[in-house]
Amino acid sequence: MSIEVRIPTILRTYTKEAKAVEGRGSTLDALIADLETRYPGLRDRLVEESALRRFVNVYLNDEDVRFLDGLSTAVKDGDVVTVLPAVAGGAPSDVRGDFDRALDHASNRAA
Amino acid sequence: MLEISAELVGAIVAHARADHPDEACGVVAGPAGSDLPNRFIPMVNAARSPTFYEFDSMDLFRLYREMDDRDEEPVVIYHSHTATEAYPSRTDISYASEPNAHYVVISTRETGALDGPYEFRSFRIREGVVAEEEVRVLAR
């Protein structure tokens, strides 16, 4: 047994179009590192500076891992991890607002 | 090109007006692979902002689980701009993550919550590139 990870459409370029892949690990962080060995580049779409990216949602079974332990969340065989990019956006502000400033300060890597 | 019924356009515009001055957002689902929008799903804007929208993460999870169960996909992902034109902003483009969806942007800048002129435009957003497309409204 291992852990099923469900991959959203936009990240399937990393998994050769697979909608779900399998991995191992005792934490979400370890699981993602395991996936990275077979699907290089995937980790960088999920993690930035040791934390899950703000606009990528990761769920352990039916819970958002932000409400668990983030990357440190414990995972085990038989769990299902689902990745869903946030559905978000916004209008440009007349005066440059918080999000425009945040985008300028962060490196511009889309989720 | 986006083909969409007048009834669905009406529902989307009504949602945008109802949430004005906050941005409204939602999805129109359709059978996977069909490119036919037929199920209107207004969503709550968890950001409740006049300049930003985001689906709540658990709402998003339930939406995708439900669409998966029904063999559907998000054919249209819509949101409104309340003071600017109906064109994808830099953040809209950065966060667009469904390459097969029609991104509909509505603007309520002219008449806000009231009846009157509005903008309703549709775009494909793929790998940071925006391409506007025709909207064909079907009578029904």
Q: Is A13 on the interface with B (CB under 8 A)?
A: no
Domain count across chain B: 1
Long-range contacts of A54-58 (CB under 8 A, 24+ apart): A54/A86, A54/A111, A55/A85, A55/A86, A55/A88, A55/A111, A55/B95, A56/A83, A56/A84, A56/A85, A56/A86, A56/A111, A57/A83, A57/A84, A57/A85, A57/A86, A57/B57, A57/B60, A57/B61, A58/A28, A58/A82, A58/A83
Integer Cα distance of A68 and A75 in angstroms: 11
**pLDDT exceeds cutoff 70 at B46:** yes
Residue B123 and residue B103 in contact, taking contact as beta carbons nearer than 8 Å: yes
Q: Which residues of A touch B47 (CB under 8 A)?
A: 88, 90
Q: Is B59 on the interface with A (CB under 8 A)?
A: no
Looking only at the bridges linking them, the beta strands covering B25-31 and B102-107 are unpaired
Closest partner CB to B84 (pick from A8, A82, A91): A91
The lowest-confidence range among A11-15, A57-61, B41-45, B136-140 is B136-140
Q: Which residues of B touch A90 (CB under 8 A)?
A: 23, 47, 49, 51-53, 89, 91-92
Model pTM?
0.89
The edge-to-edge listing of strands for the beta sheet with A56-60 is A20-23, A3-6, A80-85, A56-60, A63-64
**Domain, as residue range, for B94:** 2-138
For B49, the closest chain A residue by CA position comes to A90
CATH architecture of A3-105: Roll (3.10)
More confident residue, A103 or B60: B60
Q: What is the pLDDT of residue B111?
A: 86
Whole-complex ipTM: 0.93
Residue to substitute from B87, B94, B121, interface A, most A β-carbons within 10 A: B94
Contacts of B99 (CB under 8 A, 6+ apart): A9, A10, B125, B126, B127
**pLDDT exceeds cutoff 50 at B57:** yes
Record: contact B54-A100, CB cut-off 8 A: no
Q: What is the pLDDT of residues B64-85, one digit of tens each?
A: 999 999 999 999 999 999 999 9
- How many residues does the structure list for chain A? 111
Integer Cα distance of B99 and A3 in angstroms: 27
Q: What is the pLDDT of residues B99-109, one digit of tens each?
A: 999 999 999 99
Residues of chain A with pLDDT under 70: 1, 92-111
